[in-house]
């Protein structure tokens, strides 16, 4: 802003710092808890500084196999969740970009009907169709498989819509120039459309990865074996275990580990993410 007075700077910073504290404190507190012994956690008040159990707790969670959830290590849970989140993000992008490509650049009968059919599914969240979907998965024998975790969530009307809107901003002249230059549909897609969509794909990937990572209801239904649990489900199981004490220190470790990959994705892809949201490379 122009002509900013020192007072305004101070107030702006104060508000920002307050905001950061409100957002960051619970995460910090979780981290603190994850470095304490179970006894310290169960005996309030919890100290505000990290304890000395960092290595013990984290190595037990990662390699020891957390007894509460059937001897599955956090490593296994992270792998499951990563496969699922990646599968959903990549799959959604792949399917959406192709369907948007078809809808925007090809003239075929019932084109708009298909578009509206896709569009209408926006109004049909997973929860609404969860029972029939579950039945289908059971019939197909996809319970406790990665396919069962990924496939029912893989179609995305939102992403299709986003790609469609982006494709429609590509000038017709560019499409025609490519035709004159001898680029067929596939070449146009790979040589021109895909590179131009890079930033959009990156932004969408971040959003969809986090969407996949935080899925709760569907993984809860479709996985029975502890081996196939995602980390979110495992966390729940760790907390609400009826016939024993909850191992809060390990819960905290798992929670910390669970939020690490999404943070990594956001941090690593931040530049692309922002460019995808604000920049149109045309």
Partner 1 sequence: MATVDLKDVKKVYPSGVEAVRGVSIAIPDKELCVLVGPSGCGKSTLLRMIAGLETISSGTVAIDGKIVNSIGPTERDIAMVFQNYALYPHMKVYDNMAYGLRNRGTPKDEIDSRVRSTAKVLELTALLDRRPRELSGGQRQRVAMGRAIVRNPKVFLFDEPLSNLDAKLRGQMRVEIKNLQRSLGVTSVYVTHDQLEAMTLADILVVMNAGLVEQTGAPLDIYEKPASTFVASFIGAPPMNLLPLLQGPAGPALTDGKAVDFAPANAATLGFRPEDADVTFGADAPSGALVLPALVEAVEPVGSESFLHCAAGGNRIVVRVAGRATAKPGDQLRVVARTEKLHWFDNAGKRVD
Distance CA 161, CA 118 (A): 9
Nearest-approach distance from CB 178 to partner 1, in angstroms: 8
Is residue 177 part of the contact set for partner 1 (CB under 8 A)?
yes
Q: What is the DSSP letter of 126?
A: T
Structure tokens at 195: 């590179």
Quick one: tokens of 233?
A: 């489900």
Q: Could you say whether residue 244 binds partner 1 (CB under 8 A)?
A: no
Joined together, the tokens standing for residue 48 give: 């505000």
Which lies closer to partner 1 via its Cβ, residue 177 or residue 217? Answer: 177
CA nearest neighbour of 61 among 82, 38, 43: 38
Q: Mask 196-235, x = binds partner 1 (CB under 8 A)?
A: x-x-------------------------------------
Burial of 258 (0-12, 13-18, 19+ CB in 10 A): buried
CA atoms of 282 and 145, how far apart (whole Å) = 42
Here the tokens at position 203 are 């932004």
Contacting partner 1 (CB under 8 A), which of 195, 240, 243, 278?
195
- In whole angstroms, the minimum distance from the beta carbon of 197 to partner 1 comes to 10
181 binds partner 1 (CB under 8 A): yes
Please pick, from the candidates 130, 136, 154, 183, the single residue that binds partner 1 as defined by CB under 8 A: 183
Please tell me the count of residues contacting partner 1 according to CB under 8 A.
19
Residues at the site binding partner 1, with contacts judged by CB under 8 A: 171, 173-174, 176-183, 187, 191-192, 195-196, 198, 281-282
């Amino acid at each position: 802003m122009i002509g900013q007075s020192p007072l305004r700077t101070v107030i702006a910073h104060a508000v920002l710092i307050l905001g950061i504290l409100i957002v960051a404190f619970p995460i910090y507190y979780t981290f603190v808890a994850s470095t304490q012994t179970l006894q310290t956690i169960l005996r309030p008040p919890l100290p505000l500084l990290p304890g000395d159990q960092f290595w013990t707790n984290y190595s037990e969670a990662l390699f020891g196999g957390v007894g509460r959830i059937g001897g599955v290590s956090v490593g296994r849970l992270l792998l499951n969740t990563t496969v699922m989140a990646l599968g959903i993000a990549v799959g959604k992008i792949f399917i959406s970009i192709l369907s948007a490509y078809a809808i925007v650049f090809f003239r075929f009968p019932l084109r708009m009907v298909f578009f509206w059919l896709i569009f209408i599914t926006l109004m049909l969240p997973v929860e609404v169709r969860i029972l029939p979907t579950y039945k289908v998965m059971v019939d197909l024998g996809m319970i406790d498989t990665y396919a069962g975790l990924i496939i029912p969530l893989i179609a995305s009307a939102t992403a299709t819509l986003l790609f469609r809107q982006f494709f429609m901003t590509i000038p017709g002249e560019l499409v025609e120039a490519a035709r004159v230059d001898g680029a067929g549909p596939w070449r146009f897609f790979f040589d021109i459309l895909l590179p131009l969509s890079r930033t959009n794909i990156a932004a969408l990937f971040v959003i969809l990865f986090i969407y996949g990572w935080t899925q709760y209801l569907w993984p809860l239904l479709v996985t029975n074996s502890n081996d196939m649990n995602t980390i979110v489900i495992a966390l729940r199981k760790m907390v609400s275990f009826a016939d024993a004490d909850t191992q809060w220190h390990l819960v905290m470790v798992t929670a910390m580990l669970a939020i690490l990959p999404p943070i990594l994705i956001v941090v690593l892809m931040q530049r692309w993410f922002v460019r995808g949201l604000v920049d149109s490379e045309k």
